[in-house]
Amino acid sequence: MIKIKPLITEFFNQYTYDDIEKYIELGGFSGLRNAIKGGREFPINELKLADLKGRGGAEFPAWRKWDAAKKRTDSLKLILCNADEGEPGSFKDRDLLSRDPYKVIEGMIIAAYSTGAEKGYIYIREEYAYIREHFIVACDKARQAGYLGDDILNAGFSFDIKVNIGAGAYICGENTALIESMQGRVGRPRLKPPRVGEKGLFGLPTMVNNVETFVCATTVLMHGSDVYTRQGTEISKGNKVISLSGKIKNPGTYEIPFGVSLNEILYDLGGGSKTGEPIKFVQTGGASGPIIPASQFDLKYAYEDFKASDFIMGAGSIVVADESVGVIDYLIAIEEFFKHESCGKCTPCREGLSHIVKILHKMADKTATQKDMDKLLRVSEVMVNASFCGLGETAPTSLLSAIKYFGDELYLNIKKEEA
Ligand SMILES: Cc1cc2nc3c(=O)[nH]c(=O)nc-3n(C[C@H](O)[C@H](O)[C@H](O)COP(=O)(O)O)c2cc1C
Ligand code: SF4
């Protein structure tokens, strides 16, 4: 049985968004006070000791980003919280924002103190309308209590947060597309460099982190990196918040220590299949992640184990499919999603997805041939290597892993070529 000591989600169900007093009573803003006591370098060192990796999917060490932002000498720097959460199957940021909004706010304030940023923005997914309204109230309460605004806690720094509405497209979760859309332009990725840390929103240096990254930063500063790293593995330290969904008895948001197995997640927490049909595979990391067959469920949920097996955990979603789910039907749903969400800027992704979807439909109709399969692999390879951004690069991931692990099922649908 998994032993869990919640740290990241420790305040879930203990207060409501408009009750800042209760948050403070629970220990809220002690992370900020610890940060101020330790000085501007202290939070960065703590994040380094905790080895906190960005929770938006790219696993970039948070301390490196914070350190780079701190070292910039520009007169105005920005903090941006990415709460776009458009990845299918991912809803942990929604729960972090709605069930513990002050930990997000506190993390952004700690980041501002440490890096010297004066303005903060949070870009909240368009569909999360009620959360946005509640988050605005939480920011007002924090302002009234002196945690936002001028000379916060008399520590000689000022910071405030503005709430923005997402543009309603999956691609707007990508940093540069997100910033383009915030400036009133079409939400499409732009060329890098310059990276957003150098030239981001309104041309100013902008440090972007995911919701969970800010919440983890607050947690590390509240408890100390030594307590935070008591859970997890040598390389994947601490805990992770995951979104479990699909054909599973107990779907939901869970905090788990890194290092537990997929079996433990699916059966101890998830309660197993909800239909009685055996679980056939899971997809981790959202639509852009791999398909992992049941034979691999001993795999540990940790960066190092996933990397060794060529899997990714992305933002932490796990979608469960049972034996009633056909792999081709599943792939069609995924690739149709990407085709719909592709911004169309670059040819490999725009054209590649049209080809992939067409061939998958031919497979479903049993009219696809070996030539189609060859084309599928060729197009996927071009997309992975030549797409302009992460959407196109990762859109074929599920397909390629399905060919590896469910090749027999896929090839049953391939028509023998006539001589
Ligand atoms: C197509 C696409 C969609 C993305 N969507 C999100 C998202 O919804 N939320 C998020 O935090 N990061 C998303 N990212 C990753 C961000 O570009 C960025 O790496 C992340 O916000 C950085 O925060 P972190 O370092 O804390 O992980 C997306 C990336 C791509 C390529
Ligand atoms: S890879 Fe896809 S989403 Fe990204 S820029 Fe190219 S067309 Fe747009």
Whose C-alpha lies nearest to ligand 1, atom 5?
173
Q: Which of the listed residues 342, 350, 385, 394 should we mutate to test ligand 2's pocket, taking the one with most ligand atoms within 8 A of CB?
A: 342
Q: Which of the listed residues 66, 82, 178 should we mutate to test ligand 1's pocket, taking the one with most ligand atoms within 8 A of CB?
A: 82
pLDDT, residue 385, reads: 98
Whose C-alpha lies nearest to ligand 1, atom 10?
56
Ligand 1 contacts (CB < 6 A) are 54-58, 60, 82, 84-87, 171, 173-175, 208-210, 213, 389-391
* pLDDT tens, the chain, 419 aa long: 787 889 999 999 999 999 999 999 999 999 999 999 999 999 999 999 999 999 999 999 999 999 999 999 999 999 999 999 999 999 999 999 999 999 999 999 999 999 999 999 999 999 999 999 999 999 999 999 999 999 999 999 999 999 999 999 999 999 999 999 999 999 999 999 999 999 999 999 999 999 999 999 999 999 999 999 999 999 999 999 999 999 999 999 999 999 999 999 999 999 999 999 999 999 999 999 999 999 999 999 999 999 999 999 999 999 999 999 999 999 999 999 999 999 999 999 999 999 999 999 999 999 999 999 999 999 999 999 999 999 999 999 999 999 999 999 999 989 876 54
Ligand 2 contacts (CB < 6 A) are 171, 189, 342-346, 349-350, 387-389, 391-392
Whose C-alpha lies nearest to ligand 1, atom 30?
174
CA 82 to ligand 1 center in whole angstroms? 7
pLDDT, residue 418, reads: 56
CA 2 to ligand 1 center in whole angstroms? 29
**Ligand 2 atom nearest 383 alpha carbon:** 1
**Ligand 1 atom nearest 65 alpha carbon:** 25
pLDDT, residue 376, reads: 97
Whose C-alpha lies nearest to ligand 1, atom 22?
209
With beta carbons less than 8 A apart as the criterion, state whether 217 and 107 touch: yes
CA 209 to ligand 1 center in whole angstroms? 8
**Ligand 1 atom nearest 341 alpha carbon:** 1
Which listed ligand is nearest to 97 at the C-alpha? 1
